[in-house]
């Protein structure tokens, strides 16, 4: 954003003011039918209050683009629903100005037994359009959604991608001042996601406000000027998108370390203690432990395993995920038609060497599993290590592929 645009944004009136918002849910603790029968009549004792949002306050100036970041369950979707007026806060208030359109849960606002056509009218009327206004925009909505003849099919037969395409098309055609987008966009195919991003950029140019929930640091950096990071229902950070993605990364790293510690603690309690256990996973770059690695560089993942007794053969496998949980790599001894061992009791180390880690910018998590010689799982460590590849403007996605773009004249 240019300084001029930044000044214009900061001088803009607030379109959304969130003041000390909290949200509690009541969760039943007894899950099985048997438990419910046993506790019948004493229901309250088995209910627990869960605070999904606590004392959230911030204002959103007109024309800004806000990215809501945070680990799973930190309250992003709940906050977006409260901003959109879909659910009420338990405490505090939200003031809104202008017309709001929200693209929240998949299929929210769609009636499964109605056709796409009827749902367009229903949805558009919920978002504040008259029938005449929808008539005038109908062809453009169908065009944008690329639904084609399926517009007269009941939406219960739609794929999740078709749902999102139609819902997004309706939302952006209602002329909203504020557009709320939850992670539903991740469902659509890459080409449609691009189209949505283009539309979002056009909205930004027109001075509309965008509030986007995302797990993707690169998406937030690409689209948003401001990032709000939630952690366990609190606002942990508000600032520039780049600084917010850094704060988000630090929180994820803190969570990951807690999980690894919990994993070690479970071992101490000796619950169903396997005979071999993963005791550590570390990423090395240029011979040093590293949390940040450059695309194309060499890395080594060192896994330490503790065996209770001597083992003849055993197996390991490793997978690498994005923060969305999408696997970008997976391999191990069985896939490589090999095995480890024989190995003496006590600590041993396995090294996975990657001469060129051709991942694009973003955060990656390493999961490790070990199994005995028969392939029976012994131990698994989710997110045993993490590394960050600096984000480059040149490309998106998870694979770093060299590309050159040339003009060719066509006669
Ligand atoms: N209707 C509900 N009843 C009970 N608990 C709920 C309800 N809706 C949300 N929660 C809980 O509130 C917490 C916050 O949920 P929310 O969906 O807002 O998180 P999130 O940050 O969007 O997570 P994710 O990234 O996984 O989508 C979670 O622990 C969730 O289980």
Report how far ligand 1's centroid is from the alpha carbon of 75 (Å). 6
**184 exposure class (CB count in 10 Å sphere: 0-12, 13-18, 19+):** buried
State residue 174's pLDDT score. Answer: 87
| β-sheet with 327-332: strand ranges across | 327-332, 314-321, 362-372, 377-389
Determine the atom of ligand 1 nearest the C-alpha atom of 53: 14
Ligand 1 atom 5: residue of nearest CA? 25
- Structural contact between residues 77 and 182, judged by C-beta atoms closer than 8 angstroms: yes
How far does residue 221's CA lie from ligand 1's centre (Å)? Answer: 24
Query: Which atom of ligand 1 is the closest one to the Cα of 79?
Result: 18
Mean pLDDT of 33-46: 59
Query: For the ranges 159-168, 198-207, 259-268, 320-329, which has the lowest average pLDDT?
Result: 259-268
Q: What is the pLDDT of residues 361-376, one digit of tens each?
A: 888 999 999 999 998 8
Least confident window among 103-107, 230-234, 355-359, 372-376: 103-107
Q: According to the model, what pLDDT value does residue 267 have?
A: 55
pLDDT at 38: 62
Q: Which ligand 1 atom sits nearest the alpha carbon of residue 26?
A: 4
Instruction: Decide: residue 328, CB within 10 A, 0-12 exposed, 13-18 middle, 19+ buried.
Output: middle
Predicted confidence at residue 37, as pLDDT, reads 63
Q: Which residues contact 159 (CB under 8 A, 6 or more apart)?
A: none
Backbone angles phi, psi at 82, to 5 degrees: -70, -40
Ligand 1 pocket mutation pick from 52, 86, 185 by most atoms within 8 angstroms of CB? 52
Pick from 144, 179, 178, 140: which is nearest to 164 by CA?
Answer: 144
* Each residue's pLDDT tens digit, 71-100: 888 999 899 989 988 889 999 999 999 888
Predicted structure pTM score = 0.71
Lowest mean pLDDT across 197-211, 257-271, 294-308, 319-333: 257-271
The pLDDT score that the predictor gives to residue 5 is: 47
Query: How far, in Å, from the CA of 77 to the mean position of ligand 1?
Result: 7
Kindly state the average pLDDT of the residues 215-231.
Answer: 87
Ligand 1 atom 29: residue of nearest CA:
73
Distance CA 298, CA 389 (A): 12
* Region of residue 232 (left: phi > 0; alpha: psi -120 to 50; beta: else): left
How many CA atoms does the CB half-sphere of 182 hold within 13 Å? 21
**CB 78 less than 6 A from any atom of ligand 1:** yes
Pocket test for ligand 1, best of 48, 68, 75, 233 (most atoms within 8 A of CB): 75
Q: How many A from CA of 72 to the centre of ligand 1? A: 8
Q: Encode pLDDT of 288-347 as tens digits.
A: 999 999 999 999 999 999 999 999 999 999 999 987 778 899 999 999 999 998 999 999
- Give me the torsion for CA of 105, 17, 73, 212, rounded to 10°: 50
Q: Is the confidence at residue 29, as pLDDT, over 90?
A: no
Q: Mutate which of 27, 77, 184, 217 to test ligand 1's pocket (most atoms within 8 Å of Cβ)?
A: 77
Residue nearest to atom 11 of ligand 1 (CA): 52
Asked if residue 87 has its Cβ within 6 Å of ligand 1, the reply is no
Ligand 1 atom with the smallest distance to the CA of 75 is 18
Could you tell me which residue, 99 or 108, shows the higher pLDDT? 99
Specify the residue with its C-alpha closest to ligand 1, atom 3.
Answer: 25
* Ligand 1 midpoint to CA 339 (Å): 42
Does 76 contact ligand 1 (Cβ within 6 A)? yes
Separation of first and last alpha carbons in the chain = 40
| Whether the predicted pLDDT of 131 surpasses 90 | yes
- Two tokens, residue 270: 């000796």
- What is the pLDDT at residue 21? 97
The answer to whether ipTM exceeds 0.90 is yes
- Answer yes or no: is pLDDT of 256 > 90: no
Number of alpha carbons in the 13 Å side-chain half-sphere of residue 124: 25
Residue 231 has pLDDT above 80, yes or no: yes
């Amino acid at each position: 954003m240019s300084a001029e645009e930044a000044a214009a944004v900061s001088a803009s009136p607030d379109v959304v003011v969130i003041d000390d918002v909290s949200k509690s849910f009541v969760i039943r603790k007894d899950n099985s039918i048997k438990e419910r029968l046993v506790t019948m009549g004493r229901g309250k004792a088995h209910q627990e209050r869960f605070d999904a949002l606590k004392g959230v306050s911030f204002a959103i100036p007109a024309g800004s683009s806000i990215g809501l970041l945070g680990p799973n369950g930190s309250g992003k979707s709940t906050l977006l629903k409260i901003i959109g007026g879909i659910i009420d806060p338990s405490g505090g208030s939200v003031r809104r100005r202008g017309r709001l359109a929200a693209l929240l849960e998949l299929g929210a606002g769609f009636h499964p037994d109605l056709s796409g056509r009827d749902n367009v009218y229903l949805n558009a009327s919920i978002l504040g359009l008259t029938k005449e206004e929808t008539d005038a925009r109908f062809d453009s909505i169908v065009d944008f959604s690329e639904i084609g003849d399926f517009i007269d099919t009941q939406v219960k037969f739609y794929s999740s991608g078709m749902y999102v395409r139609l819902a997004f098309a309706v939302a952006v055609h209602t002329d909203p001042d504020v557009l709320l987008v939850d992670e539903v966009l991740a469902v659509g195919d890459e080409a449609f996601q691009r189209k949505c991003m283009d539309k979002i950029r056009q909205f930004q140019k027109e001075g509309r406000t965008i509030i986007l929930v995302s797990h993707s640091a690169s998406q937030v950096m690409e689209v948003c000027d401001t990032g709000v990071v939630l952690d366990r229902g609190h606002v942990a950070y508000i600032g520039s998108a780049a600084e917010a993605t850094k704060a988000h990364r630090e929180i994820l790293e803190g969570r990951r370390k807690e999980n690894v510690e919990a994993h070690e603690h479970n071992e101490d309690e000796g619950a169903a203690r396997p005979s071999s256990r993963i005791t550590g996973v570390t990423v090395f770059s240029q011979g040093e432990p590293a949390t940040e690695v450059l695309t194309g560089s060499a890395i080594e993942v060192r896994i330490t395993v503790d065996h209770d007794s001597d083992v003849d053969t055993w197996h390991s496998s490793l997978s690498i995920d994005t923060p969305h949980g999408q696997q970008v790599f997976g391999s191990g001894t069985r896939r490589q038609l090999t095995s480890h061992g024989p190995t003496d009791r006590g600590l041993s180390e396995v090294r996975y060497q990657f001469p060129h880690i051709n991942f694009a910018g973003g955060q990656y998590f390493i999961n490790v599993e070990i199994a005995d010689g028969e392939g029976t799982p012994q131990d698994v460590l989710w997110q045993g290590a993490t590394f960050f590849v600096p984000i480059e403007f040149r490309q998106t996605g998870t694979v770093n592929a060299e590309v050159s773009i040339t003009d060719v004249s066509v006669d």
